[in-house]
Amino acid sequence: MRHMEINTMIGCRVDCDFCPQTLLMDKYSSLTNIENISYGNPSFMSFDVFKTCLDKIPKEVTVSFGGYSEAFLNPECIKMIVYTHNSGHPVEVYSTLVGMTFEDIKQIEHIPFNIFLIHLPDEPMYAKIAVNKNYIAILKELLSSNIKNIQAMTMGPLHSKIKEVAKKLKDVSDIYVLGRGIHLPIAKEAALKLKELSYIHAEGIPGGELKHGPLALMDSNVYVIIINPNDSTYNDTLNSANEIKARGAKIIGISDKNNDVYDYWIDIPSIDEALYPIIEIIPIQLLAYYSALEKKTNPDYPRNLAKSVTVK
């Protein structure tokens, strides 16, 4: 399914710790020659510009509203959403609800959203969403409306942990990702994401082949991500981690069970052994994302790469 994301504005109220909008604002300013776009001084997309763009998009393309901005702060956002639905496009919304009104809810509750994802308030260190009586009232009204497929998320402490690790990786030249058994493909995918977004040399290595070459690369300048959920591979992978730690490398453990060998531990839930690969890639994808932000690279536009390859 093809997908198009709409940012109804560039530059929202505040600079949240996890938000990459600064990169977008700089790029947008250079492309449009519009100056002074900043947090608290946004540039809004007009409905007329939106309509001109949408009318050129095939009806089967899903249109999502949100992106890095608080969509409902744009006074014409609701008009855009309704027009998108009436034009035959599937619609998604990703929002903090900041700027939403009771009237807005009435105008869109007939729309069968693919998803209506609410970013709930976090602790102040994660996202700066003001919680007051009006916000709570809007949230209650939305949840009691006819809008379907409402989901909610928070950034939570996991992001804070990963951001701290990303700061350590800012000036690192080599990262290795070790996985054993069903976790090896995840190790290779993790290395690929780190290369794509942060431009750090990263390599996925099989745990069973550590002493057949990779161990010679380990020293105090290297970081190694150990994918080590508490399953049938746990003890063997832990032994590999100890071998690496003895050579001076820093260990980042991705596991549902902490251990002293980890210099940094990123916890994951304990689930069925066969399902671990699905969840263990998520924190490493976030690590690649935050590492990119630390290095001031745009994670949406990796250099020299295209999102779709059309030539051999």
Q: Name the residue ranges covered by the structural domains of the chain.
A: 3-154, 159-294
- The string of DSSP letters for 110-173 reads TS--SEEEEE----TTT------HHHHHHHHHHHTSS--SEEEE--HHHHHHHHHHHHHHTT-S
Amino acid code (one letter) for 154? T
Please determine whether the domains at 3-154 and 159-294 fall in the same fold group of CATH: no
pLDDT bin (cut points 50, 70, 90) of residue 154 is low
Asked whether the predicted pLDDT for residue 202 surpasses 80, the reply is: yes
* Backbone region of residue 20 per phi and psi (left: phi > 0; alpha: psi in -120 to 50; beta: other values): alpha
pLDDT tens sequence across 156-166: 566 778 888 99
CATH superfamily of 3-154: Aldolase class I (3.20.20.70)
Which fold would CATH assign to domain 159-294?
Rossmann fold (3.40.50)
Residues 6+ apart with CB under 8 A from 85: 91, 111
- 8 A C-beta contact, residue 200 and residue 251: no
Compute the distance between CA of residue 264 and CA of residue 64 in angstroms, rounded to an integer.
Answer: 36
Least confident of 3-7, 11-15, 201-205: 11-15
Q: At what angle do helices 276-294 and 184-198 cross, to 10 degrees?
A: 20
Compute the distance between CA of residue 67 and CA of residue 71 in angstroms, rounded to an integer.
Answer: 8
pLDDT tens sequence across 24-69: 555 555 555 555 555 556 677 889 999 998 999 999 999 989 755 5
Say how many C-beta atoms besides its own lie within 10 A of residue 159's C-beta: 21
Residues 6+ apart with CB under 8 A from 177: 187, 188, 190, 191, 194, 202, 203, 204, 205, 224, 225, 227, 284
pLDDT tens sequence across 182-193: 999 999 999 999
Asked whether the predicted pLDDT for residue 11 surpasses 80, the reply is: no
